[in-house]
Amino acid sequence: MTTKNPTNPTFLIKGLAGRKTLKGVAHINGAKNAALKAMAAAVLFNKKVRLENVPHTADIDTMAAILEKLGAKISWIGEQNGEAEVVRDHIMEIDTTTMTGTTAAETGTEKNTHTDIDPTLAAGMRASVVLTGPLLARFGKVSFPAPGGCVIGARPIDLFIEGYKKMGAKVTLEDGLYKISAPNGLSGMDDFFHTISVGGTETLMMAAVLAKGKTILSNCAKEPEIVNVAEWLISCGAKIKGAGTSTIEIIGNGRNIGDDKKLLEPTKHFVTIPDRIEAGSFILLGALCAKDLVIENCEPKHLTAVLHLLNDSGVLIDTKPNAVQIKGNSRVNSSFKSFDIRTKEYPGFPTDLQAPAVTFLTQVTGESNILETIFEGRFKYVEDLETLGANITVLNPREVRVKGPTAFVQSVEKEVGGGDAPADLYAHDIRAGFAIVMAALTAKGQFVIHNAHLIDRGYEKLEERLKALGANIERVL
């Protein structure tokens, strides 16, 4: 859960009071949600793998720490020119050949627990559950903590558990720890996801690559990050068809546990696709705070749902093959039109842009209904927007109504900001954190954004990148 711990890093922001003075080029990093899965997939390989365009966010560091505890070796490398100047970075190498697959119970020591996912690290990042598929497929066993609730609601893992059982694995749950074993390897199966799940699709797809026989996964998620990982695995010999559609077919390579000859061969590097959520975040920010902003190194076709709504709202946007440009955006924000949002699986409106989009909608004229269909409880940030003056009605845990425009101020009630002292705002999760940063930047006054470490989970050095666009923002440790 979110803590209001004063020792966390904070962002100190002086708002633009509605002026649109940010400008320049925002360079979009690789998608953390693709890179995290490629890191998990490294367990399927017989040699060191190389991942490129990996964003250096805190979630990537957490996944690296989990893999290291499982016995893998991880290094960040840069490429230098003749003058020892780094010309390419964001490259990670992962060597899983040092993982032996032993458990704590077998070795009688906390060392060499190569199939026990560290509970404390896993608690900090739900995406760690995707590691269970590759670990189970490679070593025939894995243990990991049952996830509890998190700040955006309960996040079950029944699809993973049911899938492993169908693949022939035995599952037990003791003292909050799942223990899964398939000593003879996994078998192919047919599965239908009762709920469309990104992590479920990716994890069972990865596990099926080393299984015996054919796996057919139906009602799959179609997110570009899934395609990114699938294409890499295919280029290294995996037999996967249909990634990016609702049915994925995998012909497993029939591996027996311990047969390292049947692991994948890293004949190609993984190149992370641009982060569509980061790009969407900067586009929404630019719409409110910049007359001219280039969002570079993104994939506009992954952003259709967002661009479409912003275009209808009146924001002037040009799309290029690898960039989006906000151009001649000198209209006052209150002249933009409101719109309704219903979050959906890809290619629908992404739940991860719901909070930044709500901040946008507080500034435009009219009423907007926002229906969150993916996660319950993803509106905790609303109370922070309200302290700035936003007119938002929470209709139920999945739906809010926004009435705009509201010119945000440091403190609606005098005591909130304590006179001249900056007003306190909180990041509740990665994306809600960005939404609050956006809100503070549009507002009049000074703000402290607490829990900035949650923003760091998904945005690399956000404050430096915003500063380069002209924002008045500092990290305070």
C-beta of 126 vs 179, nearer to ligand UD1? 126
| Residue at shortest CB range from ligand UD1 | 199
141-160 positions binding ligand UD1, by CB under 6 A: 155-160
Q: Which of residues 31-70 bind ligand UD1 (CB under 6 A)?
A: 33, 36
Contact 46, 265 (CB under 8 A): yes
CA gap 27, 282 in Å, rounded: 10
CA dist list (Å): 173 to 104, 177, 224, 418: 17, 5, 33, 50
Let me know: does 154 contact 147? Beta carbons within 8 Å: no
| DSSP H helical ranges for 238-348 | 276-289, 304-313
Cβ–Cβ contacts within 10 Å for residue 2, how many?
Answer: 16
The answer to whether residues 226 and 268 touch, using CB atoms and an 8 Å cutoff, is: no
Closer CB to ligand UD1, residue 36 or residue 438? 36
From the list 62-70, 192-200, 302-310, 406-414, the region that binds ligand UD1 by CB under 6 A is: 192-200
Amino acid of residue 347: P
Catalytic annotation, pick one of 150, 220, 289, 298: 150
Residues 86-145 that bind ligand UD1 (CB under 6 A): 126-127
CB of 345 to ligand UD1, least distance (A): 7
* Least Cβ distance, residue 434 to ligand UD1 (angstroms): 12
Binding piece for ligand UD1, criterion CB under 6 A, among 107-115, 175-183, 195-203, 404-412 = 195-203
The one-letter code for the residue type at 53 is N
Among 352, 429, 456, 460, binds ligand UD1 (CB under 6 A): 352
**Which residues from 212-271 bind ligand UD1, rule CB under 6 A?**
221
Spatial distance between the Cα atoms of 58 and 236, rounded to a whole number of angstroms: 28
Please calculate the CA angle 55-8-16 and round it to the nearest 5 degrees: 75
The whole-angstrom separation of Cα 408 and Cα 428 is 19
Q: Between 306 and 335, how does the x/- string for binding to ligand UD1 read (CB under 6 A)? A: ------------------------------
Q: Which is nearer to ligand UD1, 148 or 470 (CB)?
A: 148
CA dihedral 403, 407, 409, 413 (to 10 degrees): -40
Cis peptide before 9 (omega within 30 of 0): no
Site string for ligand UD1, 10-29 (x = CB under 6 A): --------------------
- DSSP code for 20: -
> Is residue 351 at the binding interface for ligand UD1, with CB under 6 A as the rule?
yes
Choose one: 198-206, 326-334, 397-405, 417-425; the region binding ligand UD1 (CB under 6 A): 198-206
Q: Which of 30, 199, 280, 300 binds ligand UD1 (CB under 6 A)?
A: 199
229: Cα within 13 Å, side-chain hemisphere: 30
The interface region with ligand UD1, picked from 60-68, 190-198, 239-247, 304-312 by CB under 6 A, is: 190-198
For the bound state, the minimum distance from the C-beta of residue 246 to ligand UD1, rounded and expressed in Å, comes to 14
User: Phi then psi for 118, rounded to 5 degrees?
Assistant: -60, 120
Return the H-helix or E-strand segment holding 22.
Answer: strand 22-27
> Residue 150 catalytic?
yes
Of 3, 21, 172, 195, which one interacts with ligand UD1 (CB under 6 A)? 195
End-to-end CA gap in the chain:
21
Cis peptide before 134 (omega within 30 of 0): no
Q: Please, which residue, 96 or 351, has the CB nearer to ligand UD1?
A: 351
Nearer to ligand UD1, 345 or 443 (CB): 345
Q: Which is nearer to ligand UD1, 155 or 453 (CB)?
A: 155
Q: Is 410 in the site for ligand UD1 (CB under 6 A)?
A: no
Contacts of 76 (CB under 8 A, 6+ apart): 56, 89, 91, 92
d(CA 81, CA 73): 26
Distance CA 411, CA 169 (A): 56
- What is the nearest approach in angstroms of ligand UD1 to the Cβ of residue 122? 13
Nearer to ligand UD1 by C-beta: 157 or 240?
157
Residue 441 C-beta: closest distance to ligand UD1, Å: 23
Q: Return the residue of 11, 375, 381, 408 that touches ligand UD1, per CB under 6 A.
A: 375
Closer CB to ligand UD1, 117 or 221, in the complex? 221
**Interface with ligand UD1: number of residues (CB under 6 A):** 20
* Residue bearing tokens 């840069």: 78
Q: Which lies closer to ligand UD1 via its Cβ, residue 351 or residue 406? A: 351
Residues constituting the chain? 477
363: region left, alpha or beta (phi > 0 left; psi from -120 to 50 alpha): alpha
54: which residues sit within 8 A by CB, 6+ positions away? 30, 35, 60, 90, 91, 92, 272
β-partners of residue 93 are 50, 75
Q: How far is the CB of 163 from ligand UD1 (least distance, A)?
A: 9
Q: Is 197 in the site for ligand UD1 (CB under 6 A)?
A: yes
Catalytic residues: 150
Binding residues vs ligand UD1 (CB under 6 A): 33, 36, 126-127, 155-160, 195, 197-200, 221, 351-352, 374-375
